[in-house]
């Protein structure tokens, strides 16, 4: 498949006289896709049931006339001001119980029936009008952006009570599942259940977990209503643009209603805004981004893109819907990318299987919230620095052979339900599930391995040689059977299989892995002052579990406590490994699984497809590796 480039465009921001020239220039730059419409509700439906479609019809015609393919966004991320007058109770509420105001975007509550119906109505109107004209759809824009998936509104409370009634069937069953005998928290009626905010001290973690599952289901439902409406009138693929490092809802579940997944990749914004790396790392990668962060999400969303068709992971359909083209406006610091990175980021996405990469945005807007956000063009219409790099990628796509689909021997299980559980009950300031999974991913990548990220509920896991499953909330028999039948070496833990599905401690004590006589008797979270050195090098930090049982000890602490045990396909890791220990473990297990590893210098990364190996240098300096020199921003590929 030929990979494609595109751009996000807002015709409503620019005089009509500019549109033809813009479209022609996009096409001449080698862009083939253009996304429009997703924030334009107030200019389409100017008052309730008063429509002005003319300009959007015109914009679609102009863009298509220039040979571009159009992605139409449903505009539900930006309900116009009149919508609030119509539905005064549609606002999302924050955890402090305050409604979130009008004047930016995403101010709706996913549980508001009236607003969900408005979303269906406008999606249906869009689809009726453009169903056979546009080439793809985007639903809404970035669910959860600005912390909006979890709402503590009155509408959410009623919907949560209904959700609980459905799930637990009787208040007694709910009380038993949550352990509400504790602190006299029993409910006599579903109508008495509040949302788990504004409590005096910690709410019951099982209550929080239920609310998180509910909140995720509300996002799925909101999205599904729009997908169904669009499908009634259009055969064009439906996409949503997810974000980076988001655990507020289950992306696999939302993806089950999409034809293609996509995500919005802002490497520099993410490094500054949502990365736990040490300051010297952030300094080194300030203009390039974290060398593993984009790859992690590419791999995650490739899997999401395989959910609906139940396709092989390597064939998952996914895009980068928004790609950073220069400095953004929203992170604590907003540096400009190092020359070459705007090109590198696109090639990295293609190497992970992206069908298309769209830059955000065409021209920098001189007004409103994002006026400091770069585009491919400056506000005065001159090209911005990103433009030449985008054009270079477009030329390279033309000249290159097809890159083939992704291929991985190694898998990492990433599970949203577990994220909710450990966010509800971290038991230590540093226990962050995303971080735990991400550090494992980083160690695998640093060893030159290509990785698939998998959900925790697959029927089968065959085809992999090594599977890592850190932090899985619960392990049922079906899951264990699927894993043990995969033929892979499976490394579980820390904190895997120790709880029930309702976040109580398993008795008998977990993890109860088949053939592994080991139980976790008690756990500790470790302050930074208390790492636990391992006998064979490196250390455990943040989290440690005390094991009993006769299982073979595979790793021990310097003080002689078992730190990893196992037999057969299963090993159980009883602590959070710091990076050196993790690197050692990955090399040891990869060798045992017959996988070739590399010891890549910081910043150099590889990704294999079934036809090519790609090399990327994220470091700010030239790197030498195995006799080759990689300049900063270098992208190299070689046939396998």
Which residues are identified as catalytic?
142, 322
CB of 150 to ligand GAL, least distance (A): 18
Instruction: Rank residues 127 and 328 by Cβ distance to ligand GAL and give the closer one.
Output: 328
359 and 35 in contact (C-beta within 8 Å)? Answer: no
Instruction: Rank residues 145 and 532 by Cβ distance to ligand GAL and give the closer one.
Output: 145
Q: Which range of residues in 322-330, 454-462, 565-573, 583-591 is near ligand GAL by CB under 6 A? A: 322-330
557 by DSSP, 3-state: which?
Answer: strand
Binds ligand GAL by CB under 6 A, chosen from 9, 168, 270, 360 = 360
Instruction: Rank residues 25 and 322 by Cβ distance to ligand GAL and give the closer one.
Output: 322
Instruction: Rank residues 273 and 396 by Cβ distance to ligand GAL and give the closer one.
Output: 273
CB of 104 to ligand GAL, least distance (A): 10
| Cα-Cα-Cα-Cα dihedral sign, residues 243, 249, 252, 258 | negative
| CA–CA dist 239, 257 (Å, integer) | 9
| Helical spans, DSSP H, in 289-432 | 293-307, 341-351, 385-399, 416-424
CB of 97 to ligand GAL, least distance (A): 26
CB of 203 to ligand GAL, least distance (A): 30
- 531 C-beta neighbours (distance < 10 Å), count: 18
- Report the helix count and the strand count for the chain, using DSSP H and E: 18, 26
Q: Would you call 460 exposed, middle or buried from its count of C-beta atoms within 10 A (0-12, 13-18, 19+)?
A: exposed
Instruction: Rank residues 150 and 489 by Cβ distance to ligand GAL and give the closer one.
Output: 150
Instruction: Rank residues 305 and 326 by Cβ distance to ligand GAL and give the closer one.
Output: 326
229 and 120 in contact (C-beta within 8 Å)? Answer: yes
> In angstroms, what CA-CA distances link 517 with 36, 227, 550, 566, 572?
57, 48, 5, 8, 11
Tokens read off for 424: 């509800």
Closest CA to 584 of 446, 411, 414: 446
Binds ligand GAL by CB under 6 A, chosen from 108, 115, 266, 301 = 266
| Cα-Cα-Cα-Cα dihedral sign, residues 303, 305, 310, 312 | negative
CB of 245 to ligand GAL, least distance (A): 12
Q: How many Cα neighbours within 13 Å face the side chain of 596?
A: 2
CB of 373 to ligand GAL, least distance (A): 5
- Whether the link from the prior residue into 361 is cis, omega within 30° of 0, is yes
CB of 8 to ligand GAL, least distance (A): 8
Using the rule CB under 6 A, is 323 a contact of ligand GAL?
no
| CA–CA dist 438, 290 (Å, integer) | 12
Instruction: Rank residues 38 and 389 by Cβ distance to ligand GAL and give the closer one.
Output: 38
Tokens read off for 10: 């807002």
349 and 320 in contact (C-beta within 8 Å)? Answer: yes
CB of 370 to ligand GAL, least distance (A): 6
Instruction: Rank residues 78 and 617 by Cβ distance to ligand GAL and give the closer one.
Output: 78
| Helical spans, DSSP H, in 237-340 | 251-255, 267-273, 279-284, 293-307
Interface mask (CB under 6 A) for ligand GAL, residues 84-113, using x and -?
------------------------------
Interface mask (CB under 6 A) for ligand GAL, residues 215-254, using x and -?
----------------------------------------
| CA–CA dist 91, 498 (Å, integer) | 38
| CA–CA dist 396, 404 (Å, integer) | 15
Instruction: Rank residues 328 and 384 by Cβ distance to ligand GAL and give the closer one.
Output: 328
| Cα-Cα-Cα-Cα dihedral sign, residues 161, 165, 167, 171 | positive
- Show contacts with ligand GAL in window 378-407 (CB under 6 A): none
- Show contacts with ligand GAL in window 112-141 (CB under 6 A): 141
CB of 38 to ligand GAL, least distance (A): 7
CB of 323 to ligand GAL, least distance (A): 10
Instruction: Rank residues 73 and 131 by Cβ distance to ligand GAL and give the closer one.
Output: 73
**400: Cβ contacts below 8 Å, ≥ 6 apart:** none
- Whether the link from the prior residue into 598 is cis, omega within 30° of 0, is no
Using the rule CB under 6 A, is 322 a contact of ligand GAL?
yes
Using the rule CB under 6 A, is 373 a contact of ligand GAL?
yes
- Show contacts with ligand GAL in window 327-356 (CB under 6 A): 328, 330
Tokens read off for 11: 């015709």
Binds ligand GAL by CB under 6 A, chosen from 257, 264, 348, 545 = 264
Closest CA to 539 of 583, 501, 598, 571: 583
Maximum Cα–Cα distance for the chain, whole Å?
Answer: 78
How big is the site for ligand GAL, counted in residues (CB under 6 A)?
11
- Residues of this chain that bind ligand GAL (CB under 6 A): 141-142, 145, 264, 266, 322, 328, 330, 360, 370, 373
């Amino acid at each position: 498949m030929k990979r494609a480039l595109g751009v996000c465009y807002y015709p409503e921001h620019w005089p009509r006289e500019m549109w033809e020239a813009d479209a022609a220039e996009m096409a001449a730059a080698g862009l083939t896709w253009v996304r429009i419409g997703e924030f334009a509700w107030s200019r389409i439906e100017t008052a309730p049931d008063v429509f002005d479609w003319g300009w959007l019809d015109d914009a679609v015609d102009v863009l298509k006339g220039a040979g571009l393919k159009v992605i139409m966004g449903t505009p539900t991320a930006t309900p116009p001001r009149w919508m609030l007058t119509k539905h005064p109770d549609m606002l999302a509420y924050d955890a402090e119980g305050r409604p979130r105001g009008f004047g930016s975007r995403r101010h709706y509550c996913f549980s508001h029936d009236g607003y969900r119906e408005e979303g269906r109505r406008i999606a249906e109107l869009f689809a009726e009008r453009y169903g056979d004209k546009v080439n793809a759809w985007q639903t809404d824009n970035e669910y959860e952006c600005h912390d909006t998936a979890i709402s503590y509104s009155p509408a959410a409370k009623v919907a949560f009570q209904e959700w609980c009634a459905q799930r637990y069937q009787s208040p007694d069953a709910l009380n038993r599942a949550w352990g509400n005998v504790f602190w006299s928290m029993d409910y006599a009626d579903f109508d008495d259940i509040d949302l788990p905010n504004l409590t005096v001290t910690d709410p019951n973690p099982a209550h929080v977990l239920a609310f998180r599952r509910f909140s995720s289901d509300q996002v799925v439902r909101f999205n599904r209503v729009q997908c169904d409406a669009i499908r009634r009138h259009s055969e064009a693929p439906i996409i949503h643009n997810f974000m980076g490092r988001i655990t507020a809802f289950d992306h696999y579940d939302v993806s089950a209603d999409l034809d293609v997944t996509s995500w919005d990749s802002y490497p520099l914004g993410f490094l500054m805004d949502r990365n736990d790396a040490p300051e010297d790392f952030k300094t080194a990668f300030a203009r390039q981004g974290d060398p593993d962060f984009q790859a992690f999400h590419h791999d995650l969303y490739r899997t999401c893109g395989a959910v609906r068709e139940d396709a092989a992971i390597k064939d998952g359909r996914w895009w980068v819907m928004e790609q950073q083209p220069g400095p953004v406006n929203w992170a604590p610091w907003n540096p400009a990318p190092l020359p070459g990175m705007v090109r590198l980021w696109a090639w990295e996405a293609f190497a992970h299987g992206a069908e298309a990469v769209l830059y955000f945005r065409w021209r920098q807007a001189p007004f409103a919230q994002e006026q400091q956000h770069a585009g491919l063009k400056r506000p005065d219409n001159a090209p911005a620095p990103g433009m030449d790099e985008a054009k270079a990628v477009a030329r390279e796509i033309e000249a290159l052979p097809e890159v083939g689909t992704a291929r991985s021997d190694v898998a990492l299980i990433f599970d949203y339900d577990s994220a909710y559980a450990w966010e509800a009950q971290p038991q230590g300031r540093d226990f962050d599930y995303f971080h735990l999974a991400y550090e494992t991913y980083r160690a695998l990548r640093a060893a030159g391995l290509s990785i698939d990220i998998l959900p925790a509920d697959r029927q089968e896991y065959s085809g992999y040689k090594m599977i890592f499953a850190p932090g899985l909330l619960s392990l049922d028999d079906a899951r264990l059977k699927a894993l043990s039948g995969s033929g892979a070496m499976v490394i579980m833990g820390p904190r895997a299989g120790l709880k029930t599905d309702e976040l109580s401690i398993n008795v008998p004590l977990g993890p109860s892995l088949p053939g592994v006589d080991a139980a976790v008797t008690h756990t500790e979270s470790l302050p930074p002052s208390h790492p636990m050195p391992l006998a064979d090098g490196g250390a455990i930090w943040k989290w440690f579990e005390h094991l009993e049982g006769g299982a073979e000890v595979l790793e021990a602490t310097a003080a002689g406590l078992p730190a990893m045990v196992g037999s057969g396909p299963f090993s159980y890791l009883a602590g959070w490994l710091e990076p050196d220990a993790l690197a050692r473990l990955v090399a040891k297990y990869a060798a045992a699984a017959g996988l070739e590893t590399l010891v890549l210098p910081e910043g150099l990364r590889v990704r294999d497809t079934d036809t090519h190996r790609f090399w990327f240098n994220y470091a700010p300096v030239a790197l030498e590796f195995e006799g080759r020199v990689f300049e900063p921003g270098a992208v190299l590929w070689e046939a396998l």
